Amino acid sequence: MGDDGRVPTLTDLVRDHTDLTDTDLEWLHALVSDWQLLADLSFADLLLWVPLRPGDDPSPGGAGGAGGAGDVGVDTSATVPGWVAIAQMRPTTGPTAYSGDLVGKVVRTGRRGLIDVAWREQRIVREGDPEWGSGIPVREESIPVRRGDKVLGVIQRSTNLSSARTPSRLELTYLQSASDLAQMISEGRFPAPGEEPNLVRSPRVGDGLIRLDRPGRVTYASPNAQSAFRRLGYPTDLVGESLGLVTTELCDTGEPLEEALSVILSGRAPREVEVEAHGSIMQLRTIPLVVGDDRIGAIVLCRDVTELRWRDRELMTKDATIREIHHRVKNNLQTVAALLRLQARRLRIPEGRAALDEAVRRVGSIAIVHETLSLTPDELIDFDDIADRVITMAGEVSTPETRVTPKRTGSFGVLPAEIATPLAMALTELLQNALEHGLSNRFGTLEVVAWRYGDGRAAHDPAVVDVWGEWPGGAAEGPNRPPEGPGGSGLADPAGPAGPASRPEEAGKRLVAVVVDDGVGLPADFDVESSNSLGLQIVRTLIVGELGGRLDFRARSGGGTEVVVDVPLDQHHRPGPPAR
């Protein structure tokens, strides 16, 4: 563990202790991402050692780390002062030899004799009697890791021999395959350059293994592999059959097949494919075995993924259905808005027409959210796009005498649908209220300022504050200074009983949105709780009641009004009437 308490990654260890290049590091990452295969085939633990850079001190207290009691002196004939372990893997097919975590351990040259020999002679080293250091017999082997003409490090392969017995044919096939893979690693042929398997879901050794000879005929198929092919519709033993031809015939349903399928499953190319037949789906991964410039055969890993793919398809169908529902809701809302607009045109009473126009805007703001949800694969929305559309809609319906162009500063970020829908409607009401009452028949500025604070602070947003009450009177400077309001005077001090950080139980991820105008300001006797305005009652019900947030109307320094909306992002909202 590092001085900062953080466990070092493979990248950290390589960059802190070695002279390996970025290209070398990429090769090691590719190897480590796929070496579970070697550990399982070997029934052994794997530990990857790389040489310390010249000049590093592997002694206790030195820059390299701890060597431990019993370390011998640095071998002056060696090319490196010591070794650092940068990765470790345990087998899933057998007992582990090392229960502890050895990543980050640093040892002197000479402490691990087989590693030194493998590095110096650039060959796999299997000499030596079993070690009994931990109370169990452990057979040690060392495999040099090569990239091109360069040896990057050495893999220590440690096999726990406490449960040794006469190996079965499956175990002998595993061990032979492991030996071939180890030889490929020492020759720089594994991992295959350019191969990028889907390792999160790739077949594992225990899922099913097939061993092919050079022409692509099956020489061994594990019981799980045989079972997987039976589910595809092949009832007999695979041994002796051409895997490529068998699989192609099974999948010949009249649908077009991948042209290279037969080539891949004959062991000539490293690829992953999926085949489907008789209602079953199987994933196969082919690993050609090339030793000494000669292709000797291949390993094919297979896995029955029928249930997994059916679940994936069900989820895709469900997601598509949800998006279609949102699309239809949006269409229906737009139809309702059009009917209300048509009805408003027929009314002769100005008050009735104005009420219907307000209803059209409210329905339109909800339709915008559903339209966005119909285009996303989940229930998360980039609210900045919705806010911009709501702001634009408010500007378009403002009277020509007002001549106000609303704008947005800061970022709302990504919000779940349960917050986005009420917030969009509340924002519509606040903007319309500012245009009708604060900026009626006059020039002015209307701005929506948004940011997050607490654990949900948006680090990319220069308008971020940690705690709202820390910048009274514009005292804060630098990246934590809040955005200035219209005219550059800054927002009024939000500290006080309504401030976001006033109650410890409400700490956490929160979103603040402030609607600021430089209009006529609030009436002297204004009280949002006793106001009979339908729009303000809607806003209060949505923000306080549905989202569990806070709403504050206040006079802006320099004239005008600012309405502060503060909602939690990481709590279950408590729907209900707003508290009085």
Residue 489, pLDDT score:
38
Q: How far is residue 258's CA from residue 164's CA, in Å, rounded to a whole number? A: 44
- Contact between 413 and 424 under an 8 Å Cβ cutoff? The reply is no
Output the CA torsion 74→75→78→79 (10° steps).
20
Q: Give residues with Cβ within 8 angstroms of 475, minimum separation 6.
A: none
CATH of 380-568, one of 3.30.70.100, 3.30.565.10, 3.30.70.890, 3.40.50.920: 3.30.565.10
The 3-state DSSP class for residue 409 equals strand
Question: Which two structure tokens, joined as six digits, stand for 293?
Answer: 């410039």
**Amino acid symbol at 312:** D
Q: What share of the chain is helix, strand, coil (3-state, %, to 5)?
A: 35, 20, 40
Q: Where are the domains positioned within the chain?
A: 10-186, 205-304, 309-378, 380-568
Residue 403, pLDDT score:
67
Residue 324, pLDDT score:
79
Residue 514, pLDDT score:
93
Half-sphere exposure of residue 390: CA atoms within 13 angstroms, side-chain side: 31
Question: Which two structure tokens, joined as six digits, stand for 12?
Answer: 């950290």
Secondary structure element (H or E) that encloses residue 448, with its range? strand 446-453
- 515-518-520 Cα angle (round to 5): 110
- Contact between 336 and 365 under an 8 Å Cβ cutoff? The reply is no
CB-CB neighbours of 493 under 10 Å: 16
Same fold, 10-186 and 205-304: yes
Secondary structure element (H or E) that encloses residue 275, with its range? strand 271-277
In 3D space, the residue among 383, 468, 459 whose CA is nearest the CA of residue 422 turns out to be 383
Q: How far is CA 28 from CA 93, 190, 299, 411, 536, in A?
A: 23, 11, 22, 40, 61
In CATH, 205-304 is 2.120.10.80: no
Residue 490, pLDDT score:
46
In CATH, 10-186 is 3.30.450.280: yes
Residue 398, pLDDT score:
58
Residue 468, pLDDT score:
34
499: left (phi over 0), alpha (psi -120 to 50) or beta: beta
Residue 334, pLDDT score:
82
φ, ψ of residue 117 to 5 degrees: the values are: -65, -45
DSSP character at residue 91: -
Bridging pattern class, strands 510-517 and 561-568: antiparallel
**Which residues in the chain land under pLDDT 70?**
1-5, 57-79, 128, 194-200, 252-259, 377-378, 395-403, 455-508, 571-580
pTM, to two decimals: 0.60
- Contact between 133 and 106 under an 8 Å Cβ cutoff? The reply is no
Q: How far is residue 139's CA from residue 127's CA, in Å, rounded to a whole number? A: 9
In 3D space, the residue among 317, 502, 537, 509 whose CA is nearest the CA of residue 425 turns out to be 537
On average, the pLDDT of the chain sits at 80
- Contact between 158 and 140 under an 8 Å Cβ cutoff? The reply is yes
